[in-house]
Structure 1
Amino acid sequence: MRPDGFREAPVAIVGGSGFIGSNLADSLLSDGVPVLVIDNLSRPGVDQNLAWLAQKHGNQLAVETVDVRDRDVLAPLLAHAKAIFHLAAQTAVTTSLVQPSEDFDINLRGTFNVLEAARRSGRRIPVIFASTNKVYGGLPDVTVREEDDRCVPCDAGIRANGIDETCGLDFCTPYGCSKGAADQYVLDYAKSYDMPTAVLRMSCIYGPRQFGTEDQGWVAHFLLSALSGRPITIYGNGKQVRDILHVSDAVAAYRGVLARIDDIRGQAFNLGGGPGNAVSLRMLIEEIGELTGRTLSIRYDRERTGDQPFFVADTRKIEATLGWKAHVSWRDGVRDLAEWLQRHRLEPEPARYVA
């Protein structure tokens, strides 16, 4: 499908067949907003997301199978977009350590290609970038104490509110460097070229249409492992804490940023479930065991490079600026994902997208 037949400029979602991208596309399409999905379909199973979108939304959806590294093909597709959400990425720290060159090309050069396509269009096209909490590195200055099932910050302010955007950037691992540098490029294009850009530094997003693996999408990975009877490997002691955010709340944040882009351009926001949705790996595994009624097989391995013992996003800035808040509690959200996985992932979906 081509965008030529649209009566109005579409919103382009680069990486739109992925987990967050397909949920964002569905939200926009459901409100009558035409969407152009740009994706190289390299991740196994994402063609199912496109088949779902196409079946549900028909000719309001256009799809171009393009790699973000292919600037000559990418640029004319983005030149007439109403807005650009850039979600395409190499997403695994472990992969970046093995293939740093590919990680660099996808995450940094790919982001540069998106920015240049928007800049050279001569139009003020908003660019909203999916960044990561990894831009803050391992957070060595955040001292923690270990309790029975979790790490707890010693600092009372961090314990109450989480990590805010004033935390110093400290890139670690090739993934952290590529995403962190891309994050800074996106913010600088607002300064240097007066472009309407913004960054969302995400904590752990989970929910339907997620292809969870050991390296990325760990909430879905834990659930799939439990439902399938496979063992779960924990790297470190399992007391690492993250604030998990349901994808419906993440989509609301992305749309909120676009709606206010002229007012907030050039800003970065931490995005996660906040202190109310902070869980350790051990807490989540216990909840999954109760939810599924199964005894989970757990094995432990050494801690991985760049892993943060504690990251909870301080979401007060995005809440105050956009009026956004996380609505789905982590227990309700994990239950929602478990039900979806039982319906759609334990047996492969037969639908495939054909361009």
Structure 2
Amino acid sequence: MIAVRILEKGLFECFDAGLTGSSDAPVKVEVSAVVWDGHRLVMASDKNVPGEHRSPVFALDCVDGRPQPQTLRYYTADLIRNAEKYEDFALTVGGTHIIATTGFDRVDGASSELHHYNRLLVWPVDAPDAPRLVAESEESGVRSSVDLRAELAAALGAPYYKVEGLATIPGRYGGNDRLLFGIREVGDDHENFDYVCRVVAVPYRMEGEDLVLTGEFEVVDDFDPSGVEDVRFAVGLSSLEHDPVHDGLYLLTRFEVEDETGAEQVGAYLWWLSLDDFSARRDPALVRNESGGVFEFANKAEGVALLGDGRLFVVYDPDRALELESEHPRDTREPHEAPYTLLTLV
């Protein structure tokens, strides 16, 4: 059994207080992706952050698990800044590069208007000004990875899907390293889909600064959490994280539903899957609290990063809500502040 304890719930600033958008409404940060690159936390908001010197992707140094606001740095290369709806980050095996994915859930078959919602990017951890597109194509001046949609759709057997997780795992027995896509939604279109917990894998290698996909896409994990007694609502996958020390994967799943009274219920669960069990197509196990009960997040957990000391840093996308659950330093956040939870294994 894997169990965790909450060390801290906190807030960090993602841009200047009082920042407004084109409608003069306050910009609200909604963090959807995070990775620890060995030196700093790199995160993304799934909403644009206005200003030429700003970006939805930014980095902060971290001291004792706490982001340091005075170190805020935006990643402003055009390919990074102009992508839409980041969903997850990962490190390449070996930790030399960051890989970033958008949701790949929006496309306009008649034009390139939505192609920037379909980007798979890679850049050296210390050179975010030099991103590269994976499987790059260009249409009407828009550079993207939109051609990957067909391969993902073929593997999933559906025209619509949403990518929300990303991880890499090392090749075994001389095999290639693999890139894992965590799939949250599958169906006919964005209004007709089911929440799922599927993982699609594809082998890859690094050629200089380029990430090259070297094989077929295939579904390698598809589990149904509804049969687990402690899971209260239907959930879909929202993040993946490889733990090289313990040789396994953390999977984050979340729910956004109305209960029988019509009240909105939002929360998430953390799961653990060893790579041996992953290879054997076994289901992951729920991460527990210290008492052995189910560990349930009381917010819309969207990303998990493994810090260098083995602790877990979890970020949230609270949409427009400013209220905070218990154990935070305040009852509400400011629009420019993002909540986080710091966990340790017990």
Which is richer in helix? 1
TM-score range, shorter chain: 0.3 to 0.5
Q: TM-score, normalised by structure 1?
A: 0.33
Q: TM-score, normalised by structure 2?
A: 0.34
